[in-house]
Amino acid sequence: MAAENAIDPIHQFNIVPFFSDHVGTATFTNASLFMVIVVAAVSFLMIVGTSSQSLVPGRLQSAAEMAYEFVASTVRGSAGHEGMRFFPFVFSLFMFVLFSNLIGLVPYTFTVTSQIIVTFAFAALVIGVVIVYGLMRHGSHFLHLFVPSGVSPILMPFIVLIEVISFISRPISLSVRLFANMLAGHITLKVFGGFVTLMLGAGALTAVASILPLAAIVLLTAFELLVAVLQAYVFAILTCVYLNDAIHPGH
């Protein structure tokens, strides 16, 4: 009973099923609810934002156009013009990650990207697309990605192994980075929030000092906002870099 009143910074990541008493294969949980909310928010921004098409854009249209131009220039910059055929894919990923990061910053919400299975599913999807498209487009030539030119034959097996390990490590680093950033940021915020309530209850002197962690929360929230946007950007740009490998293997 006492544990229920204690401040638990991990509690926010609990998966809660809505229409049944346990989490099964196809249970609608709070994670699913926030995925739906994120998709609805992105769709609202893009559909309503692009519906008016006025020459002098309003706020929503401006936001929608900025999102498009930002992702388009990112894709063109790191995957070339041929990379633009993957623009819908990268754009959907970027907007979903960005909105779930941002919506997760609102108190009492659930951060979808703080679940490693979600980020790993995205990363596996990206690498799957890279492998399938690379093999479809270039056939066995895609495997030259693992065989750099100009290496002496004695070293070759080691280099190939290192390249394979490096390739397999990509989805892991891609997913762990996003997940760890979101998890660490939210736990830090909750821990500082716990400091405030504990210090308020502990006496007059500490109650006055509790303004310090409160100020820290304000600063941390601003910082988390930056991290949320930057991590979505990093996820998108690394997707483009990996797709570039599928389009132009063998550097």
Partner 1 sequence: MANSEDDDREMKARLERLSSALDAKRNEPQARDGGADDASRVNAGRAMSLGFRVLSEFVAGIIVGCLMGWQLDVWFSTSPVFLIAFLALGTAAGFWNVYRIAAAPTSGGGSGRSSGSGQ
Query: How far is 80 from 250, CA to CA, in rounded Å?
Result: 16
Read off the tokens for 196: 């405030």
Query: Which of the residues 7 through 36 are near partner 1 (CB under 8 A)?
Result: none
Confirm or reject binding of residue 114 to partner 1 (CB under 8 A): no
Residue 137 binds partner 1, judged by CB under 8 A: no
130 binds partner 1 (CB under 8 A): no
* Side-chain-side CA neighbours of residue 27 (13 Å): 14
- Decide: 190 and 7 in contact? Cβ < 8 Å: yes
Residue 180 sits in the site that holds partner 1 (CB under 8 A): yes
Nearer to partner 1, 52 or 173 (CB): 173
Binding-site residue total for partner 1 (CB under 8 A)?
31
* Count of CA atoms in the C-beta half-sphere (13 A) of 155: 9
Contact (Cβ atoms closer than 8 angstroms) between residue 86 and residue 251: no
Contact present, 143 and 243 (Cβ < 8 Å): no
Instruction: Return the number of the residue (74 or 113) whose C-beta is nearest partner 1.
Output: 74
Subset of residues 62 to 101 that bind partner 1, contact rule: CB under 8 A = 74, 77-78, 80
Binding-site ranges for partner 1 (CB under 8 A): 74, 77-78, 80, 158, 161-163, 165-166, 168-170, 172-173, 176-177, 180-181, 223, 226-227, 230-231, 233-234, 237-238, 240-241, 244
